C-alpha cells in the first residue's frame, strides 16, 4: 500500500500550493512509512508516500521517464510489468530501475492513455505529461486501489484518501446529503459520489484526463 496526492492547475499554481501538497501527502503517511517524495513545476505538484516492495533501493517516487518530461506517482502493483518491460525495451526505452512504476511511465510514452489496457494488476496512478500540460489519472478494473478527485477553481486535486483532499484546505468538508439514501439502503455508493460534496471517486476501470 502506498499513498499518492497531487494538485494540477490549468494556469499556474498558487502561492502556498506546495505547502498544501505536503499536508495532503503527509496526512496519509500511514499508507507509506518507508519513503516520501515530491515533484513540482509551475503547473503540477505530485506527492508520494511509499511502502517499499518492488525495487526497494531504487523505486523512489515521483519517478520520470528518460528526459524528465513525464512523471508518475503510483499505488499498487503491475503483475505483468516484466512482460511489458521487454516489449518497451525492444522499442528502445531505457530503464534506470527494476520497478513496475517505471514500466507505467514508459508505457505512457509508447501508447498514451491506451497504456492502461496493457496492465494486469491493482493500481491507481497519476501521470503528469509536462510538455502537454496534461494529467492522466487511472484506476484498476476492480477498483482495488482507491482514487479520489475534486475541483478547486482552476485546479484539480487528487489523492488516495478523501482526508488528503480535505487537508489541502481548498475543498470544504461539507456533507453531500443526496448520497445518504443509497448509502443507508445498500451500505455502498455505486457511482462517483462520496459523502463529501465536491469530492468524487474515480470509478474502477476508468481514467480521467485534465489538461490545459
Q: Active-site residue numbers?
A: 2
**CA torsion through residues 63, 143, 28, 192, sign:** positive
**Could you tell me which of 138, 172, 175 has the C-alpha nearest to residue 158?**
138
**Could you tell me which of 35, 4, 33, 2 has the C-alpha nearest to residue 21?**
4
The DSSP H or E segment spanning 78 is strand 70-78
Rounded to whole angstroms, the Cα distance separating 147 from 126 reads 10
Rounded to whole angstroms, the Cα distance separating 127 from 113 reads 10
Other CB atoms closer than 10 Å to residue 11's CB: what's the count?
Answer: 12
Which DSSP string corresponds to 101-153? HHHHHHHHHHHGGGGGGG--EEEEEEEEETTTTEEEEEE-TT--S--EEEEET
Cell of 176: 453531500
Amino acid at each position: 500500500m502506498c499513498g499518492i496526492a497531487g494538485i494540477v492547475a490549468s494556469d499556474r499554481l498558487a502561492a502556498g500550493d506546495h505547502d498544501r501538497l505536503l499536508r495532503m501527502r503527509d496526512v496519509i503517511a500511514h499508507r507509506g512509512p518507508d519513503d516520501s517524495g515530491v515533484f513540482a513545476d509551475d503547473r503540477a505538484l505530485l506527492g508520494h508516500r511509499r511502502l517499499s516492495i518492488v525495487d526497494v533501493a531504487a523505486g523512489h517516487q515521483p519517478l520520470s521517464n528518460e528526459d524528465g518530461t513525464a512523471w508518475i506517482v503510483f499505488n499498487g502493483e503491475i503483475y505483468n510489468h516484466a512482460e511489458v518491460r521487454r516489449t518497451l525495451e525492444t522499442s528502445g526505452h531505457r530503464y534506470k530501475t527494476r520497478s513496475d512504476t517505471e514500466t507505467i511511465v514508459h508505457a505512457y510514452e509508447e501508447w498514451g492513455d491506451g497504456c492502461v489496457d496493457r496492465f494486469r494488476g491493482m493500481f491507481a496512478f497519476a501521470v503528469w505529461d509536462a510538455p502537454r500540460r496534461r494529467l492522466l489519472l487511472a484506476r484498476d478494473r476492480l477498483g482495488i486501489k482507491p482514487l479520489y478527485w475534486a475541483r478547486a477553481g482552476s485546479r484539480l486535486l487528487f489523492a488516495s484518501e478523501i482526508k488528503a483532499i480535505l487537508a489541502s484546505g481548498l475543498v470544504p468538508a461539507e456533507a453531500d446529503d443526496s448520497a445518504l439514501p443509497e448509502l443507508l439502503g445498500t451500505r455502498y455508493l455505486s457511482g462517483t459520489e462520496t459523502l463529501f460534496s465536491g469530492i468524487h471517486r474515480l470509478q474502477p476501470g476508468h481514467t480521467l484526463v485534465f489538461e490545459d
